[in-house]
Amino acid sequence: MRLIFLIFVILIFSGCEKKEDINQNIVSTTTKSSNLSLKDVFGKNYEFEKKGNGFNFGKLSGKVVLLDFFATWCPPCKAEIPHLINIQKEYGDKFEIVGVLMEEDKPVNEIKEFIDEYKINYIVLNSGDISKLVKSVGGVRSIPFMIMYDEKGEYFTHYIGAVPEEMIVSDIKRAIKE
């Protein structure tokens, strides 16, 4: 029984793909600006502009933004969803989670069913310049993978693999200077 529990814990706190040392690539320091046009599963448009080591998040500007790169088939990604829901409820006025679905050509009805099943209360992007967004953050080699940006859209921190809710909350409080 202990072995099963240990395997479960290792699975939860690791990503769904091979981890590499990607810390150096996470913050792209390019000064080149690029515009990204993204859509959520309900067809709502989001315009992000890459600027230095952060983004202008358009209509989300002024909030701390957590980009959550995930897949619907990934067990650690699924395990984090209840925590992300709690965090979005608690800090929604100053904070926004943006789920970035890493599955190409996933039917919209299946994504909506997944959102309903897990009661996701945050944005889930599934089309548009997803590959450009992934490239602009230095690539995504392991999921779940999250990057937090402060209220000015500047890189704040990142997480590889599943992380405790308390760690994310602590970072949110520092990012919004509570």
Question: Hey, which residues are catalytic here?
Answer: 74, 77
Rounded (5°) CA angle 16-66-61: 155
Cis upstream peptide for 164 (omega within 30°): no
Give dist(CA 15, CA 19) in Å, integer.
7
Other beta carbons less than 10 A from residue 3's beta carbon: 7
Rounded (5°) CA angle 68-73-77: 35
Burial of residue 119 (CB within 10 Å: 0-12, 13-18, 19+) is exposed
